[in-house]
Amino acid sequence: MALLKVFQDWADTSPANVYYLIIGLALVTSMALLATNVGRNEKYKYPNPVPGIPFFGNGLQIPSTAQGPWMTEVAKKTGDMHTMTFGGQRWLFLNTRKAVHDLLDKKAAIYSSRQNLPMASEDIESRALLYHYLHNPGKWADANSRYANSIIMSVIYGKRSELGDEDMTNVLDNLEKFTPRLLTVFDYGSAYKKLLDDLRERQRLGTQKPCFMTEFLDRNTKGEFTEEETYFMAGTLIEAGSDTTRTTLMVMMAAAVLYPDWVERVQKQLDSICGYKAERLPTFNDMAKLPLLKGVVKEALRWKPTTAETGVPHALTKDDSFNGYRIAAGTVITYNSWAISHLDYDDPERFYPERFVNKELEVPFKGHLGFGAGRRVCVGYNVAWNNMLISVSRLLYCFNIEGVPGKPVDTSKSFLVESGQPR
């Protein structure tokens, strides 16, 4: 306390003293960081470091939008991989599938850390998707959102989503407003809290169906997870399970407008199995006879990455050496998804499902990075895969997709389709 009073008296004698102190501390801190980095630079060697701004690194160089295309231009100049610095943290970007395989797959044991099956539901929800296309054609984008959200909501909360559902709208608004650059914290007091409160009320009334969250709450009797952690965990599952499916559906529809040739080939396969007079809807039992459809889903995940343009960060758990480089433990490793999808495939701008009709066709996460890489591949990939197969097969069997005259689709950057309607 005495020391604090001395400081207050000293500050009161001249307000400028405080500013001088702040400037002095900033200079000392900067010199310490610089000395530390110099020492680290002598010990480690990183691939193709991208020049940045002193003390700020590369953070101020990255655009707030279209980060994938921007990073692709960097990859064109640097090759297989490059290194950038953000806030003193080094990031290693992998720009080819070979680099991803060599590090995230072959060395998964040290490259897999992180920074500090509902078939009946899919059948029902995909039928509801077709219904909304027919009866609310102007809200087809909302119907895509409802479809993707309703399946994961059924799994996590035991509750379907309806078109125009206020809870669903709040959740999707949270996702769209979330800004990784600012590390925004979820608003626990609104969307996700209400979902959990509603579930508990249904439990009290005896109307709640068994689901992931009821099982989780039953096992969390000793309070291993706080309320905030529970909101965050469930909300993250909703985000992962709904937004990816929603955006991938929209990418597929944009590709149908721009490259209708593949649609005709898929529809020919569907007609040969389900009848060319719309005799019945495709089912999961038909998927083994629809190889091109599986190629469509993989191509939609590759063509224009919409959820992680520069990949999902991994972290190195211990120092590693490869190809003459030495990388420090704690370095963030990520796959440059947009760059790989545009530089590592033949004729990358063309939507061509046949590129995936090969011996790896039956493995959902092979041939592309839509579900991640290495040991940390998305654990829910089978759910997402089945969601896409049933919805895309029925959408293409029942509808033709055409663009709106005078409103071209821009594919030069990450996009969400927001105009037009299925016909």
Q: Which helix (H) or strand (E) holds 335?
A: strand 332-335
Q: How far is CA 124 from the centre of its chain?
A: 25
Beta-carbon contacts of 85 under 8 Å, excluding residues fewer than 6 positions away, are: 49, 52, 57, 58, 59, 91
274 is in an annotated binding site: no
| Dihedral sign (CA 72, 73, 78, 82) | negative
**Beta-bridge partners for 314:** 333
String of DSSP letters for 245-296: HHHHHHHHHHHHHH-HHHHHHHHHHHHHHHTTTT-S---GGGGGG-HHHHHH
Beta-carbon contacts of 281 under 8 Å, excluding residues fewer than 6 positions away, are: 127, 130, 274, 394, 397, 398
Q: Six-digit token pair at 260? A: 């209708």
Specify whether the CB–CB gap between 234 and 213 falls below 8 A: yes
Specify whether the CB–CB gap between 253 and 392 falls below 8 A: no
- 61-79 burial, b for 16+ CB within 10 Å, e for fewer? eeeeeebbbbbbebbeebe
Q: Residue written as tokens 């009290």?
A: 204
Distance, CA of 17 to CA of 274 (rounded, Å): 81
Distance, CA of 328 to CA of 318 (rounded, Å): 7
Distance, CA of 343 to CA of 69 (rounded, Å): 11
- Name which of 59, 76, 64, 63 is nearest 339 in CA terms: 76
Where residue 403 falls (left for φ over 0; alpha for ψ -120 to 50; beta otherwise) is beta
Distance, CA of 209 to CA of 212 (rounded, Å): 10
**Beta-bridge partners for 82:** 93
- For the annotated binding site for heme, the residues are 378
- For the annotated binding site, the residues are 378
